Structure 1
């Protein structure tokens, strides 16, 4: 049985302009500049830089009725008021705002040399070895099996089978083992190892033999489990050596690189320059906030497009082609207007939000002491500026501020609150800093377990549970007490 009924439904739908604004807000300065370039390529009605004679205004929404670009109804060219798209204003409003970035400033960039990849470097090293064609193929396959950390995570049997099925290279495990010994001679030392133990041993064997190096090799070969669990008493008894001898051997091991491939990648990676989105300075005891001038570029509507509209306005015989052109021009002009307006709104949103954060954490920005960072969550700032929490999150994410104490990631200023023994709210950042200090000052021969750390922080006025200590310790990337032990 068919039924027909009427149902009212209220839903919220973001306009394309709102979506565009949200995407622009979350972009840091360098990504924002790239987005500007892309928009100028896509929209010929949008131009950057200064104009010689006159510039178009912002096409205020009060001057004409906006339309939905997704509406299927075609707007006739005769219904478009051309005068609304033409303006005699000399300078648009958004260009009158303070800008701390001048066109006269040189945008100095640093050229970077083209890097050779980690695997390509290993392939080039193979050229120094005398290998047959088949051995060379096997060696290159083994190099291709090395991950970015420098390890081969697959068994020899799997590698032999894979070469046969995918490369048509038929060999046996013994031959692959022999070629693997060649790989182990490549730099950086330890590359091509199948596990951590083998990686450390390869590096030690590259060193000049000494008493401590030989002892370290013996420990890794025969007492690796006792070493990883830091059973130093067992090692002292096993080798009948002094603490100084064991300490020297352990020192040799601790100076090895457990990720040889990672060290190569980090040393050859192009340096990433952070461009702060904001700058905070102290003038006469007061905080002064500025938005990076590169966030407010000079954009205007193309004069050529305005001239096209002017020509259409004065032409008597309007052809179908001309009407279609006006439709296209109107669409591009509207898109340019929306984009320029989105830049203005982005500029205002960034400044207002960061200004609220700056005043909320005023004591910290005046002094630079992290202990003075107040507990602050996204909702605190959202309530102050009257914006949605998601908008504040977009501003804080991936944005940097240049302060008198260095360039900081904005989201690092946010933290949860905890009560101290005085009943006052303190930032978890402050507690983590104190925890870090306590661990740094502990006796490494007898490091504090988590329950002892909880007791020490309680004595300092921070009653925290042991499980919370464990959570903060993991967030600070600090191992458990047993792994912090040193002889």
Structure 2
């Protein structure tokens, strides 16, 4: 039986909620950390002539306008911060934005100190200098530069030969063969540090062993890595002894030397060091006084004050008053002025809203984790999720997520990412609520005290946790162990 099909066109009405341009701008600014906000503001100052930095001579500055202070009960002791995000009639003679972005997190008399950035020669430049000292053809030099640029941060080459040949042909317009590529790669593998340019961990270790002076022990090391690499990484000593027909003393001596090799030769080079020394700029300053008072302020560093251009607003007023006698050019000019002034005021309001949201979120975290901010003890941290902060700050969960994603806070006990204060919780048999962080800390202590000849299995660790009153299953123990970067029992011997 044939089935007839036909297309039917219908109309349906539905309501869809979309974000306005102002809301999108506020969300984007909210996600930016302090350093990136500086760059965004300076970029906006360059793009929009209606936006200026500086303050009016008659403007009164309150040095504590961005501060939140709480007493021992966690209640704010300063006045409530009121904001007006309307884009109403802001073009008046008294138009001076009340939002301040000046730096105000230092004590009186204290001068700012510049922290110098470390000057490191990049990973690429270090290897390229060695490449320039080689006698190569122009084509080989091009291949060498591309191979160096293809190395990862560990100094290893993760791409296959075929993939590299395709990339060279597509992006560089260079046609080469696997043999030519292998030849240039072998030259790079002779560079310092030893192991650079290897395509696997095994090859990386073998390249380092080859540079050692000849000795019976060197040959054993080479045989272990070349013939028993999998067994070596899994610590299957008995299989290695049987395959290579060596004594346990020879094996132990070789392993002692192998553990001195660097599986990540690129980590000793400039660019990676620079990444490891990357400066963290806190977004919040939380200071705890001796009497238990906690002061919160935004770390606005060198962000300038923002205001509308008086010249632009005056020109817009003049065009508005003469609206009846305007030419087409004057109308276009008025439209341009209005767009720029509206954009400038919208940007000021978005930054203003960002400040209030950040302060509200951080204040809620302080209230929920007050014991930690008083004594700095990690065990004082209570279980806290995004929903808890959202309910206390009276904000949406997605907003809290954006704030906590890439922000840092400076406390009396160090600098922490906001994510540090969030953790799930468990309820013990006695009804006590425990933080996952506390459970992980106990797990770490158990493994640190174990007998290395007979380490605890995940089942044994789960039993120990249950005896302590933590209702944790074996698979949960395995998950926490992996999050702590602790290997399985067999690899901890």
Point out the more displaced range, 245-254 or 276-285.
245-254
Question: Structure 2 residue aligned with 1:223, among 221, 225, 228?
Answer: 228
Q: Post-superposition shift, 1:28?
A: 0.9
Aligned twin of 2:297: 290
1:108 paired to 2:114: yes
Distance 1:306 1:162 in 2: 54
Q: Provide TM-score, normalisation by structure 1.
A: 0.81
**5 Å matches for 1:293-372?**
293-294=300-301, 297-312=304-319, 318-320=325-327, 321-372=329-380
Count how many residue pairs are aligned between Structure 1 and Structure 2: 459
8 Å contact from structure 2 (residues 408, 415) kept in 1 = yes
Uncovered stretches (5+) of structure 1, i.e. residues with no partner? 65-83
Distance 1:341 1:157 in 2: 53
Q: Equivalent residue of 1:293, what SS?
A: coil
Uncovered stretches (5+) of structure 2, i.e. residues with no partner? 1-5, 61-82
8 Å contact from structure 1 (residues 312, 318) kept in 2 = no
Question: Structure 2 residue aligned with 1:454, among 439, 462, 478?
Answer: 462
* Distance change >3 Å, CA 260–CA 17, structure 1 → 2: same
Point out the more displaced range, 268-277 or 301-310.
268-277
* Distance change >3 Å, CA 318–CA 364, structure 1 → 2: same
Q: Post-superposition shift, 1:436?
A: 1.7
Q: Equivalent residue of 1:285, what SS?
A: coil
Distance 2:160 2:371 in 1: 58
* Distance change >3 Å, CA 158–CA 382, structure 1 → 2: closer
Question: Structure 2 residue aligned with 1:125, among 130, 135, 141?
Answer: 130
Question: Structure 2 residue aligned with 1:433, among 431, 441, 466?
Answer: 441
Question: Structure 1 residue aligned with 2:453, among 445, 449, 456?
Answer: 445
Q: Post-superposition shift, 1:233?
A: 3.1
Q: Equivalent residue of 2:99, what SS?
A: helix
Superposed CA offset, 1:322-371 (max 9, x none): 33322322222222222212222211111111001011011122122212
Distance 2:37 2:167 in 1: 45
1:251 paired to 2:259: no
1:374 paired to 2:379: no
Q: Post-superposition shift, 1:214?
A: 4.2
Distance 2:233 2:136 in 1: 38
Distance 1:160 1:354 in 2: 51
Distance 2:320 2:147 in 1: 71
* Distance change >3 Å, CA 449–CA 142, structure 1 → 2: same
Point out the more displaced range, 227-236 or 160-169.
160-169
Superposed CA offset, 1:384-435 (max 9, x none): 1211101111111100000122110001211111122322111111111211
Q: Post-superposition shift, 1:138?
A: 6.4
Question: Structure 1 residue aligned with 2:201, among 185, 196, 202?
Answer: 196
Aligned twin of 1:273: 279
**5 Å matches for 1:399-410?**
399-410=407-418
Aligned twin of 2:237: 232
* Distance change >3 Å, CA 453–CA 4, structure 1 → 2: closer
Distance 2:486 2:462 in 1: 15
Question: Structure 2 residue aligned with 1:41, among 41, 46, 50?
Answer: 46
8 Å contact from structure 2 (residues 120, 274) kept in 1 = no
8 Å contact from structure 2 (residues 32, 406) kept in 1 = yes
Distance 1:26 1:137 in 2: 40
Aligned twin of 2:395: 387
Question: Structure 2 residue aligned with 1:86, among 88, 92, 96?
Answer: 92
* Distance change >3 Å, CA 48–CA 137, structure 1 → 2: closer
Superposed CA offset, 1:183-227 (max 9, x none): 332112012323322210111222345665443223223332332
Q: Provide TM-score, normalisation by structure 2.
A: 0.80
Point out the more displaced range, 468-477 or 142-151.
142-151
Aligned twin of 2:191: 186
**5 Å matches for 1:148-159?**
148-153=153-158
8 Å contact from structure 1 (residues 296, 343) kept in 2 = no
RMSD: 3.8
Superposed CA offset, 1:74-96 (max 9, x none): xxxxxxxxxx612236x533249
1:17 paired to 2:22: yes
Q: Post-superposition shift, 1:145?
A: 5.9
